[in-house]
Amino acid sequence: MNLSHIRGVVFDFDGTLAPNLDLPEMRRQVIELSARAGVPGDVVEDLFIIEIIEAATAWLARCNTSQATAFHQQAHDHISNFELEAASRVEPFPEVRQLLSQLRDRHIRTAVVTRNCEQAVRNTFPDIDGYLDLVLARDNVEHYKPDPRHLIQALAGLGTDPATSLMIGDGRMDMQLGQQLGLTCVGVLTGSHQEDVLIAAGADIVLEHVRDLGRRLVPC
């Protein structure tokens, strides 16, 4: 697939530019918190982590607003602490900075769109503003992925169109979101999902590692 038309690249963060969070463990802990608060399991099953907190909070709020507020705060503090602790132990994948510099040299605009919190992203990648044009973490936006407005906001910030933009990520959600908005979708195998899952979710290309994008976007 020819990528010479690409003018903007939107990156997922965890599992794409840096080692993945242990999302199954984070999810297990949030479910445990909600169960301890008295929320039935079927209220939160099949949901993503933040959506579990929202659903459990809504369920609790039907009977006890103050308990719901306390749970919401406790659960958000818990996931932020989880993210910050993980961020303190990792750094961007090798060659990520070189890749981003190459893209900048080619005047390709770049953004991160992540459900992680901004502080965790910056702890992992302290000099990120020197390499990327835009960082949109969970706490920087009102609507985060899989809500398409997260990606729409990123494209608006970059000033690029879906037709000339590329979404790259390790997760099914990234591929589905990119495809939904008409971006070229590139999966990477350094995070949550394998090639078959990424292709089924809409990946046009699957790469072993994000650094391989450089060879596809920047001709020798």
Residues making contact with Mg ion (CB under 5 A):
12, 14-15, 170-171, 191
Nearest distance from C-beta of residue 26 to Mg ion, angstroms: 12
Q: Tell me whether residue 109 or residue 115 sits nearer to Mg ion (CB atom).
A: 115
Minimum CB distance to Mg ion, residue 1 (Å):
22
**How, if at all, do strands 165-169 and 184-188 pair?**
parallel
Cβ proximity to Mg ion: between 133 and 170 the closer is 170
Q: Which is nearer to Mg ion, 191 or 202 (CB)?
A: 191
Closest distance to Mg ion from the beta carbon of 99 (Å) = 17
Q: Show the tokens assigned to 155.
A: 């494209």
Contact present, 20 and 92 (Cβ < 8 Å): no
How far is it, in rounded angstroms, from Cα 10 to Cα 105?
16
Rounded to the nearest whole angstrom, what is the least distance from the CB of residue 175 to Mg ion in the complex?
11
Query: Which CB atom, from 56 or from 188, has the smaller least distance to Mg ion?
Result: 188
Instruction: Determine contact, residues 151/202, Cβ cutoff 8 Å.
Output: no
d(Cα 85, Cα 77) in Å, to the nearest integer?
Answer: 12
For Mg ion, the closer of residues 12 and 133 by Cβ is: 12
Instruction: Quote the tokens at residue 34.
Output: 């909600």
The angle that helices 23-36 and 49-61 make with each other, rounded to 10 degrees, is 10
- Position of minimal CB gap to Mg ion: 15
Minimum distance between the CB of residue 27 and Mg ion, rounded to whole angstroms? 14
